[in-house]
Amino acid sequence: MKKNLSSIFFIWSLAVSPVFAQLIGAGIRITRQDILNSPAPETNIALTANRLTMYFSSSRGGNWWNQDDSDIYYAIRLDTLAPWSKPLPLPTPINDELNQDEVYISPDGSTLTYQRWSYDWALEGGPYFETTRVGNRKWQNPNTLGGEITEFFIKTGFRATDGMTRLWDGSIIFAAGPEFKQPMDLFYSKRSDNGDWQKVVPLLCNTKQDERSVFLAADGKTLYFASNRPGGKGGLDVYRLELREN
């Protein structure tokens, strides 16, 4: 996604949110992508840098491993003006009988990160997992991020998240809080050269209000998120900030 908001791709929901209303009011054209949609919710869109492959979460069900929980789907197109293909679910063991959500794809399309809460998520090193592939080969078995990220959720007791993104160096930013309908904050953890995670810390952009739905643009430094902080138009508004090396 580029800095120009007109390049953002949305999967249209049945109810127009305040954020969508603001975009329409700004003269931005929004087109419902019927081939991607289903009667169930479609959320958490992730695009490769070339904008030819889209990943998202959907609870449309109907897969042999899952009937109604959220799975990760993907769709492709030949060029940026071509229509999207009919979405297909990623295979097991990425998708399974539990919810897979908050998908992130690296700009080159080689690394997929997502969230999965299980009954033994703490022992597994969850709730975030990643999988890689080389070229067009199949996705490898997912590995947990674990380390300080798992410890953060154990110590805080947070069980609600709403949005996750990765930085060019592999670091992670996610929104988390005690419950989904309560205010959340944005948190950051840097991955060291040896692969270990540093202590999770809150971003300085947080307020006492709600910050969530974080997304890193393809330039690797422009961070978008939603917040209902004072000074906005009402409800959740879209904000952006520029990340610096420190």
> Phi first, then psi: what are they for 24, rounded to 5°?
-65, -40
**Taking a C-beta distance cutoff of 8 angstroms, is the pair 128, 149 a contact?**
yes
The amino acid occupying position 159 is R
Q: Is pLDDT at 65 greater than 70 in this prediction?
A: yes
- Sign for the CA dihedral angle at 126, 89, 111, 43 comes to negative
Query: What integer pLDDT is reported at residue 137 of this predicted model?
Result: 81
Q: How confident is the model at residue 24 (pLDDT cuts 50, 70, 90)?
A: low
pLDDT tens-place string over residues 135-168: 878 999 999 999 999 999 999 999 999 999 999 8
Cis link prior to 93 (omega < 30° from 0)? yes
Burial 188-223 (b: 16+ CB within 10 A, else e): bbbbeeeeebeebeebeebeeebbbbbbbbeeeebb
- Sign for the CA dihedral angle at 113, 117, 118, 124 comes to positive
Q: What global pTM score does this model have?
A: 0.85
Interval 223-228 mean pLDDT: 95
- Sign for the CA dihedral angle at 124, 153, 105, 34 comes to positive
Q: How confident is the model at residue 195 (pLDDT cuts 50, 70, 90)?
A: confident
Q: How far apart are CA 244 and CA 246, in angstroms?
A: 6
Lowest mean pLDDT among 6-15, 61-70, 75-84: 6-15
Q: In the predicted model, what is the mean pLDDT of the chain?
A: 87
pLDDT tens-place string over residues 92-102: 899 998 999 99
Q: How far apart are CA 203 and CA 96, in angstroms?
A: 32
